[in-house]
Every structure is written in C-alpha cells, then in structure tokens.
Amino acid sequence: MGGGSSEENRTINQLLAELDGLSSKEAIVVIAATNYAEAIDKALLREGRFDRKVNIPMPDKQAREELFSFYLDQVMTGDKACKPKIMKMKQRVKEGDEPKSAEKIAEEEKPDLIEPIFVEGVSNKVYATALADRTPGVSPAQIATIVNEGALAAAIHDEKVVTLPYLQEGIDDVLIGKKHRQRMSDSSLRRTAYHEVGHAIMSWTSPLQKDVIKISIVPRGRAGGYTQQAQDEAQEPQTDDFLFSQLCVLLGGRVAERLIMGDISTGALDDLQRATKISVDKILTYGMGEKSGQLAFRQNEKNDGRAWMNYSEKLHGRVEGEAKALVDKAYEHTMKTLTENKDLLVKLSELLLEKKEVNRADVESVLGKRPTGSR
C-alpha cells in the first residue's frame, strides 16, 4: 500500500536528474507552483533543490478591492477611470490573397480605444468595495471571471454600461452557478422555499452566525435553492457553541420540511452529510467530545477503509454514537426553535415564493432585528 504510480516515479526521477545537473555557477532560477504542497515528494524539497517555499494566501479585503478596481477599469461601468478596449478577431487568409507583412498584421490587430461613457456618481472604487465585501476567500482568477460575467450579462441585455447589479449577479454565477429554468412542480418549489427559510431562521436567530444576505429558490448550477450568509474574512477558531449552532443551521431545512409539509425529502442530503462530518470531526479530529476525552486523530483524506484507520474499532463505534447524540440534540433544538417561529417561517416562505429571491432587508422586515451581539 502507498507509493506513487510508475509514471509518477519516472517524472520525479527526471526532475531530480535535471535539477542535479544544474551548476551553482549558472544564473538559472527554477520556480514551481502547486496547490498541493503536502503531496510533493520529499526528495524535491530538500536543500539544493526547491528549498525555498513561499506560501501565497488568497487576497484579503484590501487586495480584493484593488483587484476589482483593476478589472473594472477594463470594462465600461461609467467611471472616468474606465479604458475599455475592443479586440479585433483575426481574419482568415483566403487563397489568392496577397500575404500581409508582420507590421500590417500587428497594426490591424491593435486594440481600439472606444469612446468612454461617463455616468454621474458612478465610482469603480465604490463598486470594488461592495464586491470585495461579498467575496472573502476568492482567488484573483475568480475576481476576473466575476467582472467578465457581469460585463457579458450587461451586453446580453443591451446595456451601455456594466452596473453594480450585473456584477453582484456575476458573483452568484461564479460561486454558485448559472441560473437555469425552473423545472420543479409547485409543490416541490413550496417545499424548497420552506427548506431554505428553515436554514435562514436558524442562522438569523443565532448570535453566533453571520448575517443572512440572500435567500433564493431560483435554480443555480446543481442547487434548486440556497441561503447565502456573509462570510468570515479570516479562518477563526471555531468554538463548541458555534459548531452546535452550525449543526442547527444545517438541520433547519430538514426540520422545516417535517414541520410544515408533514414529511421529508432527499433535498437535505448535502446538509446531512455536512452535519455528520462536523459532528465526527469535532470529536475525532479536534478532541472536543464529552466521552472521548482530549484525543485527536489526524484524518487520512486520501484513503478510506478500516486498513487506514489510526484508531481502534472500539473508539470508532463510540465516536459514531456520540456524534449521533450530538446531531439528535441539534435536531431537537432546531425543531423547538422553528416550532416557536412557525408563523414567521410561513410568512417569509410566502414572500420568497412571491419574489423568488429575497435580500437581507426583506428577511429583517419579517423576522425583525437580529439578537444582540450577532455577528
């Protein structure tokens, strides 16, 4: 067990031979990049080879603002800083045409500056700040794609400038998926509305959870609906109470279906899988179990099965029992909370069915202010 494939070994050996063939007198710097540093063969990382490592994290809020400003300046938003260009398609050469010189080809393919359109009060810096607030953890490539998606949507609707709503829509297109036609029956759509509002209420009523900024039953990607919360800028340590509140949020959809519709559906599959992982990881990985004590085991994500376990079968059974009890406790708390707020659940669901998408202001108009001390 273990080890790499023969093809992988041959590639590594070739890289080692090439690196060892370089002399220290040669002015050559070898640079490599990877998203999986932990999977690199140790022979490549020792001194004399790739011995200097630089970790490049995802951009923080200030960096995202600068990136958004850079890409927004390349499309037409109405800001005076915009300098969009039109790229010409390369023309196919026909038989019998006289060949063109390199200078003429370069001149023909040179981008043309178009006449800018200025809109009073529009600022790319303001746009960039608003977009950066909604995109913690995204990469520079995703930021470029978000702006491009917004520009494409504006062009499809024959708009002269790219407005902020199109750019906000671009965030959902990139991070969640493209909108597509609604194929669900009215009954299934109603169930989805109750499901998503169940998530939203459990988030809204917990001071430990971040704000709910959007609820939608418009299909995007593989999701029939979604509840979107504001995201943390940094990965902070998660407390016992926060993990319990996260379980309640995940179970909110299943409980809402049971409470209002009288039965349940397969729509909670992803929620339940995530809840199971959180409860097991809490006990097994982070040593936060009540019965298992301060034991923490490193999970082997590459290989599954009993042969790869670094803990006993007895402990594994005890962890499963404790995780189930934790999820059951969260389910009971969620059922109690949603039962107490059943009227609000129905009211917000009806609003969602009417508008298809609701924002934070809509949620607050139904549920009221969030608890004191909410994040």
Tell me which residues are annotated as active site: 196
* Segment (H or E) for 193: helix 186-204
Residue type for position 321 = G
- Cα–Cα separations (whole angstroms), residue 289 to 156, 213, 286: 54, 33, 8
121: Cα separation from own chain's centroid: 31
Q: How far apart are CA 292 and CA 186, in angstroms?
A: 47
- CA-based torsion, 171, 172, 177, 182: positive or negative: negative
* 116 Cβ contact list (under 8 Å, min separation 6): 76, 80, 82, 83, 84
Q: Which residue has the tokens 């590639």?
A: 11
Q: Cβ distance 141 to 121 under 8 Å? A: no
Which one, of 199, 221, 218, lies nearest residue 210 by Cα? 199
